[in-house]
Every structure is written in C-alpha cells, then in structure tokens.
Amino acid sequence: MSKFLLIGIISLGIVANVQAQRVVSGTVTSADDGQVLPGVNIVIQGTTIGTVTDAQGEYEITVTDNSQVLRFSMIGYSTHNETVGTRSVINVTMQVTALELEDVVVTAFGVQRERRSLGYSTQSVRSEALTQARETNVLSNLRGRVAGAEITQSPVAGGSSGILLRGVGSITGDNMPLVVDGVPIDNS
C-alpha cells in the first residue's frame, strides 16, 4: 500500500510541474517597414533560457510563471521587454535604432585615423558589390574596383588568383599585400 501512495505523490508532483509550464509564441516585426525579423534573441529575463526567431520571424518559448519577462533584442533595434501574464501569444514590434558609425581607416603601422582627416584618398568596396558579381573567388571580384590593385588569374581551370598593389616597384619586386581586411594573404 505504501508503494502505491509514494508513486501517487510523485505522479501528482510531476503533473503539477508540467501544468505550470506553458508555451508562449508569437511573431516579431519591424516598426519601420512591418517586415518580419528573423534572428531576434528572446530570453527570459534573469535566466539563461532563450530562443531565436526563425526565418518567418516566429518564435516559441516555454515559461513557468506569469510574472516572467521576455527580453527581445537584435542589433540595430531597441531592446523590448514584455511581461508574459496570462497571454499565450505575444506579437512584438521592434523600433529601429538610428546609430551612425563613423569611418575609421587603419594606415601604416596600425595607426587609426578618421577618413576625413587623411591627406590622401582612400577606397572601399561594399560587400553588396562583391556578392552581386558571380565570380568564383573574392580576388576576381576585386578586379577593376580598386585603383592600383592588379588582380591576376591563372589560365588553368581552378587556378588561384594573385593580387599586386602599386605595380612591381620594390627592390625585390614583391608588392603583394600582407593583410586585407584582417585576413592574411599568401600569394606564393
């Protein structure tokens, strides 16, 4: 008899714990254009329990208490908090944060300067320009986009590309860049 009583008490405890948990779902959109936002982080405040919105801006998260607060955050948007309450669907509209970053140029010896304070011109290539061209590698995409950069490609199928800056003007005839945008280049 005592075995049945013990099993009954344990079962009631498990059922009560399962009933306290419930799923909250919803969709996250942008206040700017009304589009769904994939990749928004949703965390139960004060815990490490969280999730991320999918490609349709939808999410599901399991909560255990009506007083829990969901924190919605994404780069470029203001953080938004919502108290769960008794709701099972929480749709959120996030406000765009208008922060403008200034250009910083790293010159010789790692000295950082603002672009407008330089006495010479600098060039940049936007990532959109590189992804629109359907080349096989990044160096081939740079051909004709940066003054002073000579991009050579091997005539052999699958051959490598090489980059040479400002022509062959050094004593050793080697003017290949060492680092481009933080990535070491080896053209040997």
CATH class of 2-94: mainly beta
Torsion angles phi and psi, residue 144, rounded to 5: 80, 5
Q: pTM higher than 0.75 for the full model?
A: no
Query: CA 119, 144, 171 angle in degrees (round to 5)?
Result: 65
The token pair that represents 10 in the structure block: 């344990």
Q: pLDDT (tens digit, 9 = 90+) per residue, 45-84?
A: 988 889 999 999 999 999 988 889 999 999 888 999 999 9
- Residue 145 has what pLDDT? 73
Query: How many Å from the N-terminal Cα to the C-terminal Cα in the chain?
Result: 82
- Residue 153 has what pLDDT? 74
Q: What is the mean pLDDT of the chain?
A: 75
157 against 108, higher pLDDT: 157
Q: Where are the domains of the chain?
A: 2-94, 124-184
Residue 109 has pLDDT above 70, yes or no: no
